[in-house]
Amino acid sequence: VVLIIQQNILFIIFPATKNIVPEIISTLRQAGKSSARQEDTPSSLPSNGQADASCSTKFEVLFCGRVVVAHKKAPPALIDECIEKFGRVSVTGSLAAGIRRAFSLNQGADGGGKRPLFFKRDQSFPFLQALDENGLSPELQRRAADGATGVQPTSLQENRTMLFTIGRSQIFLVSPDTKKVAIEKSFREISFCSQGIRHVDHFGFICRESVECGGCQFVCYVFQCANEALVDEIMLTLKQAFSVAALQQNSRTQSQQCDSCPLQQLHKLCDRIEGLHPSKAKLELQKHLAGLDNQEQASVFESTMKARPKSDQEENELIVSCLRRLYEERQKTHTHTHNGQTKKVHLHVMSSSSLWTPIMSVCFKSKTYVFLCVFSDVAALSSPGAVCVVGDDSPLCSRRHSWRQQIFLRVATPQKGSDSKGNSLVEYVMGGGESILGAVPEERRKRSGAELRALWRKAILQQILLLRMERENQKLQASESDLQCRRLKLDYEEITPCLKDVTLVWERMLSTTGRSKVRFDTEEIHKAVGQGVPRQHRGEIWKFLSEQYLLRKEVPSTKPPNNETPYKELLKQLTSQQHAILIDLGRTFPTHPYFRAQLGAGQLSLYNLLKAYSLLDPEVGYCQGLSFVAGVLLLHMSEEDAFHMLKFLMYDTGLRKQYRPDMIILQIQMYQLSRLLHDYHRELYTHLEQYEISPSLYAAPWFLTAFASHFPLGFVARVFDMLFLQGSEVIFKVALSLLGSHKPLILQHDNLESIVEFIKTTLPNLGLVQMEKTINQVSEMDISKQLQAYEVEYHVLQDELLDGPSTLSQSQRVAQLEKTNGSLRQQNLDLLEELQVAHAKIRWLETRVDGLVNREAELQSEVKTLQQERTELQQTPAERLRINALLLCSLLLAPCSYFV
C-alpha cells in the first residue's frame, strides 16, 4: 500500500506487485527533492552550458565497498541490497577474504607478477598516480583468487574516508591518508547513480570494468556520507555535471555525426543489445533483420546456418558478423549528409575477415561494442589502408589499454632495423601481421642436468641481487623524496640567522635523555630563543618548548575532550565541517609551493589535520583562520606531531577561546588591544579613535591566524617561537610592537581607508631588521597583569550597558536579553572553569606549603643534630691534647723517679 497526501486528501494505491513499491517511493522522494531544489535555485545549469575549467566539487565520503552486478542499469533498491550483502559477508566470516581481494597489493592471479599500470595525468589534477586500465589504484585492484565472490566490502580497520571529487568529465576518489587517487572514472564509464531508500545516507554508481579473462563486468561502488543532505547535494552535483558534459560533448560532436551512416546504425543496434541475455538479444537482432530486404535477409540466414551455431550466443555473434560485413559494403559508397552539405566518402576497410572474426567474438562475449563513424575530411578517409578516422574528442583516443594489450604491443614492436618504428596495434593489424614478431628460431640443443642447475642457480642469484638493488633504490628514492618535501616546506627566508654555537646549544638540549621530564633553566631557554632557532630543527624545538611549558605550568588551564582518541582513529570518521574546510584549503598559503597544488600532499595533510581537530573539539569544530595555524605547524613537522601541537596551542596556551562560535573572547581581545594602545601609545590611540578605527578592522586576522595570513613566513615562525615559549599573550605584544614602531607613518594618514590600507598592506612588508627588532621587543615586554585588569573592566562595562535605559521594543528587548543571557551563561561557565582551576591551584599550593613546612621542620632537626656534632668535634681535639700532654709528662718524669 502506498499512501500519498496532497491538499488534505489521502490517496491509497495498491501496486500490482510488491517489487515496484521501492521504485515508487524512490521516485516520489526524488521528485520532491527536485521540486524543492528548483524553488531554491531558479536555474540548475549554467546558461551557456559551459563549466569552469578549474571548477571541481569535493565531498568527504566513506568508501563501503564494491559489488559486481549483472546489468548496467539497476533497481532503486540496489544500494540497500549492497549494504545488506556487506553485512552478510562480515557476519559469515569471509570479510577478511573480501578485504584481501579489495585491497590486494600488486599480486597477480598467476603467482605474484605485477600488472602493468596505466599512467594518466590531467591538467586539473597533476598529482595523479599510477592507475590501471579500470581507473583504479594498485591498492584497489580486484583479484579473482580463492574463488572471489562479487561482494567486496572494505576493511573496517583501514582509513576508508575519501574525497569524492566531481570534475568536468571525470570522477576522482582521492585518499587523504595515502595522498593518492584511489579511483578515477570517466563519465562515459558510469551508467547509473542511485541513493539508498532505507539507508538514505548512502549512494553509489555503476561502471564498466574489464577483467583479466578478456571480458568485462559491471561493478557498483557504494559510499556513505555524514547525512542525507550531503547525499542529496552529491546527487544534484552529479546530475548537473553529467548534463553539462553531455551538452558540451553534443556541441562538439554534432558537426561530425551522420545519423544515416550504415556503421552508425550498427552502433545503435549494438548499444540496444548490450548487456541483454542471449535470448533477448536474439529477438532484437531478428527485429532488425526484418527491416532488411529479402536478398540481404537470405544472405545473413544462409551464412548463419552454414556455421551451424550450437547456442544463441554463437548465433548472435554470427549474425552481428554478417551485419558488419553488410554495412561495411554499404559504407564504402555512403554519402555523408550534414548541414545541407553532402560528401562522397569511400571508406576502405580490411578485406581479411578472418582477422576480425576473433576480435568480434571477444567483443561479443564481453558485451562490448564500439562502432564509431566520425569524419573530419575526405582526404583522411580516402587514404589507403585507413580503417576509420577518430576525432580528438573520441573515447578511443584516450582509451586505456589492458595489461594483455600492453604486453602484445611490447612484443609486437619491430626490432632495430625495421622500416617502421613504434607501430601500434592498429598498424600491425592493417599490415596483416606479416613477420612482425620475427621468424621462429630453430630448436636449441638439449642441455644437461648440470647445465640447467647452473643456469637456475645463476638466475636465482641474479634475481636476489635485483631484488636487493630494487629495495635499496626504493629506500634512496624515499629518502630523496623526503628531503625534497622538507626542502619544499621550509622554503622561506629566516629573519634571525642562527649561529653555529646556538645550534649546538639547541642540539644539546634536544638530545638530553628523558627530555620530557627534565626541567631546564628558564633563563637559558629564553636566551636561546632570543638568539635564534635553527630552521631545520624548529619543529622539534617547538615540541621541546611545549614540554617545558607544561612542566612550568603545574595545573593545566583546561582539559581537552576525548583527549585519548588517537589521531588515526579520528581520521576514520566523517566530519560535518567538511565544506568549510575544503573551501579554505585553496585559500591557505596559496602562493606556497607545498600548499599550491589542488588536492596535493600539502592540502590533503591540512585537510586531515583540520578534520581531526573538528572531531576532537565539536564545540569549536572549524573556524576560519585555524587553517593558517595548522598550516604553519605542518610546514615544520609531520601530521600527527602537528595535531598534538595544535591541541597544545588551543588548550594549554588558551587560543581555543577565541575560536568559539560566540566570538566573545575575540571581542574582549580587541578591547584589550585598544586599552594597551591607550596606555602605551596615547597619540596613536587618539588618532585611530578620531577616524573611528577599532582594532577589529585590522587586528582580527592577526589574532585568528597568529599573523600567518598576511606576514612573511619567516616572521610568523619567530612569532610561533615566542608563542610556544610564553603563551597566547605574545600576540598582544607583537601587535602592540608593530603599531608602536610604525606610529609616525600611521599618523601621516588622515582618512579611514588609507590608515586601514597601510596597516593591512604596509606593515606585513617589513624589513628583516624591523622584524627582528619587533621580536626583541616582544621578549622584553610583560603585560599579563594589564590584560587581566582589562578583561575585568570589559565585563564591568558590559554590565553597565545592560543596566542602562533602553528604547527597544518588547520583542527586541526579549531577544537582546536572551542573547545577553546566553553570553552571561557562557561567561559563567568560563568563570567556573577558571574558579576550578584556581581552587586546584590553591589546593596544590596548600599541599606544597605543607610539604615545605614539614621539610623546614626536618631541616631544623638536621641543623640541631649538626650543631651538636660540631660541638663534639670541637671538644674532641682539646681533650686529646690534654691526654697527650699528661702522657708526655709521665714519660719525662719516669727516669727521675727511677734514680730516686
List, in order of start, the domains of the chain with CATH numbers: 57-254 (2.30.29.30), 262-333 (no CATH)
Lowest mean pLDDT among 78-92, 626-640, 771-785: 78-92
Better pLDDT: 840 or 704: 704
Residue 12 contacts by C-beta under 8 Å, 6 or more apart in sequence?
Answer: 1, 2, 3
DSSP state of 738: H
Q: Is the pLDDT of residue 626 over 90?
A: yes
Average pLDDT, the chain: 76
Asked whether 613 and 630 are in contact (CB, 8 A), the reply is yes
Averaged pLDDT for residues 496-509: 90
For residues 632 and 313, the model is more confident at: 632
Longest Cα pair distance anywhere in the chain, in angstroms?
Answer: 175
Q: 109-113, 329-333, 443-447: which range is least confident on average?
A: 109-113
pLDDT at residue 825 greater than cutoff 80: no
Over residues 190-213, the mean pLDDT reads 88
pLDDT band with cut points at 50, 70 and 90 for residue 592: very high
Residue-wise pLDDT tens digits, 424-438:
333 333 333 433 334
| Amino acid at position 390, single letter | V
Q: How far apart are CA 693 and CA 698, in angstroms?
A: 9
Q: What is the mean pLDDT of residues 632-655?
A: 93
pLDDT tens per residue, range 363-388: 343 333 333 333 333 233 233 333 33
The single-letter DSSP state of residue 759 is I
Whether 98 contacts 160, CB under 8 Å: no
pLDDT at 402 over 80: no
Confidence (pLDDT) at 716: 94
pLDDT at residue 479 is higher than 90 = no
Overall average pLDDT of the 406-429 stretch: 43
Type of residue numbered 301 = F
Return the H-helix or E-strand segment holding 480.
helix 449-489
Amino acid 180: pLDDT: 87
> pLDDT tens, 527-541?
999 999 999 999 999
pLDDT digits (tens, 9 = 90+) for 729-750: 999 999 999 999 999 999 999 8
pLDDT at 158: 84
Phi and psi at residue 768, in whole multiples of 5°?
-60, -35
CB 74 within 8 A of CB 236: no
Chain segment 66-77, per-residue pLDDT in tens: 998 888 888 888
Q: And the C-alpha cell for 614?
A: 573538528
Determine the pLDDT at residue 649.
93
Comparison of pLDDT for 883 and 897, the residue scoring more: 883
pLDDT at 670: 94
Cα-based angle 18, 23, 24 (whole degrees, multiple of 5):
85
The pLDDT assigned to 703 comes to 94
Residues 876 and 872: their CA atoms lie apart, in Å, by 6
Among residues 765, 789, 772, the alpha carbon closest in space to that of 678 is found at 789
- 4-62 residue pLDDT tens: 555 455 556 666 666 666 666 666 666 665 554 444 443 333 333 333 334 578 999 99
CB of 85 closer than 8 Å to CB of 67: yes
Query: Residue 81 and residue 102: Cα distance in Å, rounded?
Result: 19
Distance CA 84, CA 78 (A): 10
pLDDT value of position 210: 81
Query: Containing H/E element for 83?
Result: helix 78-91
Amino acid at 667: Q
